[in-house]
């Protein structure tokens, strides 16, 4: 541990796998106490147990951020056990795949319920507690290159991530004098449970070959930026939407 987050309580949503699990482990290595939230209770309990055995103060709190009314009680539980929340990594998200002519109303609503409404109310509930505790809070929303790049067949997902980027800037302005930094990361394509099957297909391999560097990113490619936005370095950074995509969103790239 390098300890730049010693004494900080961090909450990671969507922490049962993929980037959420990676971020939880990264924050733990930097000394943070970590609350893992997700729908898959068994998975976050296993990860929290592993972190605890390694010396991290870690708990698992089952949470579906699509249920906005459940977020506040979950955050109350985290504070009861770990103390005042100092960092929120708003990572929970769903893919929202489907051509517009084929996408059901229910699938569209679910995409926005998780990616937009869940992100918004998790940020609100975290900020409410940060302000009450008088801490210099950090909120990092995980958006996507889809916030500013058209990804074919993902119109609902693109719309939801564009909303996430603008919510980031709006909340940053609203809480600028409250000591809370609100920023967003826009990652490019990284293999996760959501897209792994696709990238093993001929179409997925063709997409990778079309990227400027003909490769997928690794989760570790986001580490430096995530720690910057979650730690002391974000004291003068708020309202930023930072793209880290290995050039994937460059013209002609993907």
User: Which residues in the chain land under pLDDT 50?
Assistant: 1, 253-254
pTM for the whole structure: 0.95
> Cα separation of 229 and 244, whole Å?
13
Angle formed at CA 223 by CA 220 and CA 227, multiple of 5 degrees: 165
Beta-bridge partners for 88: 11, 139
Candidates 97, 118, 103, 129; CA nearest to 10 is 129
Q: Which fold has domain 9-243?
A: Rossmann fold (3.40.50)
Report residue 61: phi and psi, to 5°.
Answer: -130, 105
CA pair distance 89, 199, nearest whole angstrom = 26
Strands 85-90 and 181-187: unpaired
> Which residue spans within the chain are E strands per DSSP?
9-12, 33-38, 58-62, 85-90, 138-142, 181-187, 241-244
Question: Which residues form the catalytic set?
Answer: 157
> 236 to each of 5, 21, 124, 228, how far by Cα in Å?
17, 27, 21, 11
Q: What is the pLDDT of residue 37?
A: 98
DSSP 160-181: HHHHHHHHHHHHHHHTGGGT-E
Sheet holding 85-90, edge to edge: 58-62, 33-38, 9-12, 85-90, 138-142, 181-187, 241-244
Rounded Cα–Cα distance for residues 100 and 23 (Å)? 32
Closest CA to 128 of 139, 114, 141, 140: 139
Q: Please give the structure tokens belonging to residue 233.
A: 């370095």
84, 131 Cβ separation under 8 angstroms = no
CA distance linking residue 34 with residue 155, whole number of Å: 33
Residue 37: both structure tokens together:
């939230």
Structure tokens at 156: 């609902």
Query: What are the two backbone dihedrals, phi and then psi, of residue 116, each rounded to the nearest 5 degrees?
Result: -110, -60
Predicted local confidence at residue 2, as pLDDT: 62
Residue 167: what pLDDT? Answer: 98
> Tokens standing for 74?
């979950």
Structural domain boundaries in the chain: 9-243
């Amino acid at each position: 541990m390098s300890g730049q987050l010693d004494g900080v309580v961090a909450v990671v949503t969507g922490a049962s796998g993929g980037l959420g699990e990676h971020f939880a482990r990264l924050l733990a290595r930097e000394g943070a106490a970590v609350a893992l939230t997700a729908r898959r209770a068994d998975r976050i309990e296993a990860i929290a147990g592993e972190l605890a055995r390694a010396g991290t103060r870690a708990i698992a709190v089952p949470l579906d951020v699509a249920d906005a009314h459940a977020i506040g009680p979950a955050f109350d539980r985290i504070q009861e056990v770990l103390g005042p929340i100092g960092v929120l990594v708003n990572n929970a998200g769903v893919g929202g795949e489907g051509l517009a002519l084929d996408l059901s109303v229910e699938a569209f609503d679910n995409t926005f319920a998780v990616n937009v409404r869940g992100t918004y109310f998790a940020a609100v509930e975290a900020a409410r507690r940060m302000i009450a505790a008088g801490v210099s809070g950090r909120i990092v929303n995980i958006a996507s290159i889809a916030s500013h790049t058209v990804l074919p067949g993902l119109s609902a997902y693109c719309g939801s991530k564009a909303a996430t980027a603008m919510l980031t800037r709006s909340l940053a302005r609203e809480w600028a004098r409250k000591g809370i930094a609100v920023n967003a990361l826009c990652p490019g394509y990284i293999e996760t449970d959501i897209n792994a099957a696709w990238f093993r297909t001929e179409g997925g391999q063709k997409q990778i070959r079309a990227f400027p560097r003909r490769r997928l990113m690794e989760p570790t490619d986001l580490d430096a930026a995530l720690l910057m936005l979650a730690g002391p370095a974000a004291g003068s950074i708020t309202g930023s939407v930072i793209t880290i995509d290995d050039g994937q969103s460059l013209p002609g790239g993907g």
